[in-house]
Chains A and B, each alone.
Chain A
Amino acid sequence: MTDLNGWHEQLRRGGLDLAILLTLAPGRRYGLEIIRHLETFTDLVVTEGTVYPILSRLTRDGLLEAEWVADEGPHPRKYYRLTPAGRSRLETMTAHWTTFTAKIRRLIDAAEHRR
């Protein structure tokens, strides 16, 4: 069971970067908005606070840019948006993900067909 947990964690972590970039593809969003969007479409976020370190890393890596906005809500919000490098990374990751999942799907179909 521990191995399955580890495998799932790796899968989740690999998918979370892509999921965050996809969430920001239409435009800027702040942290809680990103988390809510992810919760609507996936079960990738279990602990809300651990999304912020990932946003910080993606910002540090130049894939996102962040700015504090004070006048759009009752509290200041930190908005994130994709940089040109982030958009380019998103296109590459999406293409890889699509190819990868298609190949695994073919393997699953082949295994089920032989059963």
Chain B
Amino acid sequence: MKLSQTGQTRVQGYLYVLGRSLRGALPREAVADALQEIGSHLAERIAETDPVPDERQALERVLAEVGPPLQVARAYSAELILDEAVVTGRFVPVLRGLSHIATTTAAGFFGVLALLAGYATGTGLLIVALLKPVFPDNVGLITVNGIPHALGMQFPLPPGAEVQGGYGIIPVALLAGLAVLVLTHRCARRLLAWTRRRVVRAWGSSGVGRPPE
């Protein structure tokens, strides 16, 4: 069937929602490629479909067979973003995966918030180890009147504050920083793997892989 203006607008709307759902999850070129491929699929399916009983119902049938745009976007997310992050564990794919789940699920948002605290703590400890030789009098375990106040750096030191521990803080901060970063990264991969399982399960229960009756 040849689509009317209304039908074409409906198809454009479908592709727009799909594009919006994929953006932020996939690189720009991958989104454009996916949209072109699904658009080509739709055009061919529509061309071979008869407008029975009318154009609107025939078009909705084709779109339903292709799948709701959010479901197709979730499939891309599970197959590409989360899959790459879980399998490789590389830093950039893991960050991309975390960014995706933080913006698409409530559990992901709070999980990523906790993980960011872990990454920040680990990085902070490494910075302490690196800056200690440069600013020995301002970086380290800072106490005020003998009471621990902070582990880090302060410019200038508040009245009554002293830096404790000397250069011994360097290996401690280095080891602790690395340990926190490794642990946080492992937790990030677990969170991504858990999210991926949930997405796949939801994808299955939404009709993609229903067992035959």
Contact = CB atoms under 8 A, between A and B. Distances in A.
Q: Do A and B bind each other?
A: yes
Given A31-B41, A77-B40, A49 B75 contact: yes
Contacts, number: 100
B144 interface: no
Number of contact residues on B: which range applies?
35 or more
Nearest to A57: B79
Contact of A52 (B38, B84, B200): B38
Nearest to A68: B36
A8 interface: yes
Contact of B79 (A5, A12, A47, A53): A53
Contacts of B79: 53-54, 56-57
Contact of A48 (B65, B204, B210): B65
A74 B44 contact: yes
B212 A43 contact: yes
Interface residues of A, number: 29
Interface of B: 30, 33-34, 36-38, 40-41, 43-45, 47, 65-67, 71-72, 75-76, 78-80, 83-84, 200-201, 203-205, 207-212
Interface of A: 2, 4-6, 8-9, 12-13, 31-32, 43, 46-50, 52-54, 56-57, 60, 68, 73-78
27 contacts: A6-B204, A8-B209, A8-B210, A9-B201, A9-B204, A12-B204, A12-B209, A31-B41, A46-B207, A47-B65, A47-B66, A47-B72, A48-B41, A49-B66, A49-B67, A50-B208, A53-B75, A53-B80, A57-B79, A57-B83, A68-B36, A74-B43, A74-B44, A75-B43, A77-B40, A78-B36, A78-B37
